[in-house]
A and B are shown apart, each in its own frame.
Chain A
């Protein structure tokens, strides 16, 4: 982020100068091409132009992101009905969450799901990155292929998984029964363990491509000389990974972990589409619980309190992401 215009223009643009400059400006609004007035009149225009340029973005983010965020906190402190008046109930919605067994179950389930998929995504993603990081013949093609499931996206793949997990004809059952690993009639979505296994495999398959791309970008920033000198020292493949790659890749590994954990915390599509939260409510994720609380139970205050908790948790993790980003290495 070095080399921005700020560092190159000195500190002469203070407010008094800017205010005075309005009178010095030439009638046509063009900068007077002489002396300090040129700088100051330009800085007034610069102030206005800069503000005007960023205004649309700020307005859209304020209206559709920041306002709803504040509104969410506000609603969570009320007994907001769909129609009619409301009043403040303090932290009652939050206190209710502690005793809301469906919500607590969704939290436990989401943590369990996150715990299951995070490490496989990292390890498989890392190995894939090692495999495609060089520029050997075909590496670029392999990268594209491995990354395709992530590009197609979880929504589309969930619809397809729904079809292929069907008993009797789904490709997953056909393949596993041919290998004598499972019955053709396995009903994946009516058993919470099987459902979680199936969805976890789908997600690891889809998300390890993203981790691969993130780690590969980091690996390509490591200077070749380090590996060459490690070669001279007679280091094995694993020693090179352990003592050269992994230490220099800390930032990329941290980023990919944060991205995958946040993604798991916010999971919705795969559960809504493939299991619809079932059997019972055993595979309802936190986001799905918020959705159901609002859309089905129509408990606006309760849903908002859950959402505030989620925003705080995810916001903290994303904040760490930016700290890591600023930290910068490899």
Chain B
């Protein structure tokens, strides 16, 4: 059965091999990892430099005055971005929760129920998957203007949810298809309703699928840029990336690079934390194959 073959597939090669050259492998691995992690760590270090040190010719001395100046300015300065960080968090959390709930219900429907039109409904999901959001922003702008969803965090979250749902529904449908039929039957014999079967009996089994859906939706919406740039034109509704791009393109004076680096580091943190906490669910999503670049 599907569950069984997936479990078998997820099994990596048998037990740790005590091969010669293990320490050589480890050293090489650290070197390769450094290529990918050091630049990120370097930027974290840079964010503690005063802006004047960031923009002056480099010297060892410029690292002698590390401090929280950039962050203090970002969070308490004249044009602070606390509001933008909060906006980004609201949008990302709302998108991930809404996507998870709606995709779970739909996955339950597609995976566990027979109904007329289910083929057509699933085709809608698949077509949705094939449409890149980058291409339909113009008509979507006009539509959201008409629906009063421009300059609105709710509007942005709905937009992100819509483009994360096809992947989420696909993942959740596959998750529900792998639930053993005996479990559902047993719940029915016990007189459990549709919803209590879901929330009591199936919850634990489908949790990994939900975590996958949540993770992808969060990582997508937390620093999404083009959509936010298009649908939000009002400073108080800016998400973090849009606020940073305004810092960057500030033509009325010099760009505050300290501000920019510290802001980017703030944008980095939630991604890294959420990913490291949930990374095994990320791989589940990759294995489903329905990933967007």
> Can you report 8 A-B residue pairs in the complex whose CB atoms are below 8 A from each other?
A51-B109, A57-B103, A61-B165, A135-B15, A138-B30, A272-B245, A310-B135, A311-B136
Query: Is A72 an interface position by the 8 A CB rule?
Result: yes
Contact A57 B131 (CB under 8 A): no
- Would you give the shortest CB distance from A69 to chain B, in whole angstroms? 6
**1/0 per position for B86-122, CB-CB distance to A under 8 A?**
0000000000000000110110111111111110010
Query: Is B61 an interface position by the 8 A CB rule?
Result: no
Which of A94-102, A230-238, A288-296 lies at the interface with chain B? A288-296
Contact B271 A294 (CB under 8 A): no
B contact face: mostly helix, strand, loop, or mixed: helix
**Bound form: Cα–Cα A160–B124 in Å:** 39
B 118-137 contacts with A by CB, 8 A: 118, 121, 124-137
**Bound form: Cα–Cα A216–B272 in Å:** 21
**Bound form: Cα–Cα A1–B22 in Å:** 39
Q: Which of A153, A307, A322 contacts B135 (CB 8 A)?
A: A307
Contact A152 B103 (CB under 8 A): no
**Bound form: Cα–Cα A171–B54 in Å:** 9
Chain B residues, CB < 8 A from A304:
138-139
Contact A295 B114 (CB under 8 A): no
B: which residues have CB within 8 A of A? Answer: 1-3, 9-10, 12-17, 19, 22, 25-26, 28-30, 32-33, 35-37, 39-40, 42-43, 46, 54-58, 102-103, 105-106, 108-118, 121, 124-143, 158-159, 161-163, 165-166, 169, 174, 177-178, 181, 184, 194, 219, 222-226, 229-230, 241, 244-245, 248-249, 257, 260-261, 263-264, 267-268, 271-272, 275-276, 279, 282-283, 286-287, 289-293
Query: Is A136 an interface position by the 8 A CB rule?
Result: yes
Contact A71 B143 (CB under 8 A): yes
Contact B135 A311 (CB under 8 A): yes
Contact B225 A269 (CB under 8 A): yes
Contact A62 B114 (CB under 8 A): no
Query: Is A243 an interface position by the 8 A CB rule?
Result: no
Query: Is A179 an interface position by the 8 A CB rule?
Result: no
A 137-153 contacts with B by CB, 8 A: 137-139, 141-142, 144-149, 151-153
Specify the chain B residue showing the minimal Cβ separation from A274. Answer: B248
Query: Is A75 an interface position by the 8 A CB rule?
Result: yes
**Bound form: Cα–Cα A66–B166 in Å:** 12
Q: Which of A162, A224, A322 contacts B126 (CB 8 A)?
A: A322
Contact B13 A135 (CB under 8 A): yes
- Would you give the shortest CB distance from B112 to chain A, in whole angstroms? 6
Chain B residues, CB < 8 A from A171:
42, 46, 58
